[in-house]
Amino acid sequence: MFTGGIGKMVQTIAAENLANIRLFTDDALKLLVELPDASIDEIYLLYPDPRPKTRHHKRRFVSPTTLKELARVIRPSGLFHFATDIEDYANWTLAHIVRSPDFTFLPEQPGGWHAPYEGWQATRYEQKARREGRMVSFYFSFPRR
């Protein structure tokens, strides 16, 4: 858990008097398995830990198990959004999506996945990556079948 980030989020929630936000600081899969079927319109996975070492790939968030749970909680025609600046993780995710019976990959144009989604607001991580010259990001939206 990133305590500083959680603390800042709690401060922002309090300062803006937001009542419709809940924070979950444990493994997201634990939360997913408790959510009701078809209860979410969209889920965003933004710049997850890429786990670059091959022996750690089994810990990547995108997996057959998590995709099954995402599909269960996202309503039909809902969206799973994914963003990363790690090409290997983008390829990993696409490979899992095209094998999934629950999601589709429908690119509108070649390379269109380098353009952010409509309404995108760059994360601090993305801004940092751009400053460091790692400007190639991947933005995918996968419709739930």
Active site amino acids? 49
Task: Judge contact between 124 and 131, C-beta under 8 A.
Answer: no
Q: Cβ–Cβ contacts within 10 Å for residue 50, how many?
A: 18
- Axis crossing angle, helix 87-99 with helix 64-73, rounded to the nearest 10: 70
69: Cβ contacts below 8 Å, ≥ 6 apart: 29, 32, 33
